[in-house]
């Protein structure tokens, strides 16, 4: 026998969903769209939606910790790379040579490049654009997923981006966090779809589309890195739960995604060995 749940604010109305924060049933009149899912008016009032303007753009969100750490590492590594190379507007010097993703060197045993390359950038503009987008996505996703799951999603997308590079362009030295950033966008789309939201209305669908068009239109952008990160992030997002959802099996889900990340890493090493000798293009 089906049980019909009424809205806690309008008992005469049938509930459409549950609030993603307090989990009380709410009708369509009470649904307020959040980053992922819907909240009731009371929870929305208790935690107002962010409005991004010139005054709040660089104001640190108190629930974003992992995002700030990742941005800080990227900026620090870029500063060291620029200092040691004497060239702040180009990828060069010992840090770049030791950390950039390059198929033949990965195949020769430099496995760490699958990871370190995502913390190197080929200029101030490259760094700034990636970090700005990372900051916006961190504000949307880290409070929703929680610190640990956000970090797991980011690393999984990072490795997926490196795998894409090693499949499509293993002979082109590659750096940048954009594969991981694309993965965050892919993860956010999947989370919104699971929460019965429209990614086009939230804006993330258009953002991904624009970035994909730029990926294929502008020479020198890593197609494999962007596609690999996007797909890996979407897959991870499909498994992970936001913290406000029922948490049955949450630890298992996180463990599965960690295993998926290690599997992607193993495939990346295998791809470096195979596609360096047998490039697709």
| Overall residue count recorded for the chain in this entry | 281
Rounded to whole angstroms, how far apart are CA atoms 189 and 173?
Answer: 30
- DSSP labels for 210-262? HHHHHHHHSTT--HHHHHHHHHHHHHHHHH---TTS--TTHHHHHHHHHHHHH
Assess contact for 240 and 145: CB atoms under 8 A.
Answer: yes
Tokens standing for residue 194? 């699971």
Which listed residue (162, 226, 244, 254) is catalytic? 226
Tokens standing for residue 96? 């770049």
- Helix 223-239 × helix 250-277 angle, to 10°: 160
Nearest partner of 123 among 158, 97, 92, 147, judged by Cα: 92
Question: 25 - beta bridge partners?
Answer: 18
Which listed residue (117, 178, 202, 254) is catalytic? 178
- The reply to whether 18 belongs to the active site is no
**Alpha-helical segments (H) within 90-222:** 93-99, 103-107, 113-116, 124-145, 147-168, 178-194, 199-202, 204-217
- The reply to whether 226 belongs to the active site is yes
Rounded to whole angstroms, how far apart are CA atoms 264 and 187?
Answer: 16
Question: 17 - beta bridge partners?
Answer: 26
Tokens standing for residue 150? 């956000």
Please identify every residue annotated as catalytic: 178, 226
């Amino acid at each position: 026998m089906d049980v019909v749940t009424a809205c806690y604010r309008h008992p005469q109305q049938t509930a459409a969903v549950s609030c993603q924060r307090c989990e009380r049933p709410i009708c369509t009149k009470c649904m307020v769209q959040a980053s992922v899912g819907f909240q009731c008016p009371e929870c929305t009032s208790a935690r107002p939606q962010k409005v991004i303007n010139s005054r709040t753009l660089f104001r640190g969100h108190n629930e974003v910790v992992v995002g700030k750490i990742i941005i800080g590492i990227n900026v620090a590594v870029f500063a060291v790379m620029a200092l040691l190379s004497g060239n702040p507007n180009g990828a060069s010097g010992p840090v770049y040579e030791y950390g950039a993703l390059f198929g033949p060197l990965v195949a020769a045993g430099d496995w760490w490049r699958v990871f370190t390359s995502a913390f190197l950038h080929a200029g101030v503009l490259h760094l700034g654009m990636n970090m700005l987008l990372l900051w916006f996505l961190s504000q949307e996703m880290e409070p929703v997923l929680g610190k640990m799951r956000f970090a797991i999603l980011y690393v999984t997308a990072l490795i997926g981006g490196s795998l894409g590079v090693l499949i499509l362009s293993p002979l082109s030295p590659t750096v940048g966090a954009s594969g991981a950033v694309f993965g965050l966008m892919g993860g956010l789309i999947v989370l919104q779809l699971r929460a019965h939201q429209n990614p086009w209305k939230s804006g993330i669908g258009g953002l991904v589309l624009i970035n994909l068009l730029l990926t294929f239109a502008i020479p020198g952008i890593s197609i494999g890195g962007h596609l690999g990160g996007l797909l890996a992030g979407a897959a991870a997002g499909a498994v992970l739960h936001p913290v406000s959802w029922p948490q049955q099996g949450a630890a298992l889900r996180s463990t599965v995604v960690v295993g998926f990340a290690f599997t992607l890493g193993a495939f990346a090493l295998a791809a470096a060995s195979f596609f360096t000798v047998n490039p697709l293009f």
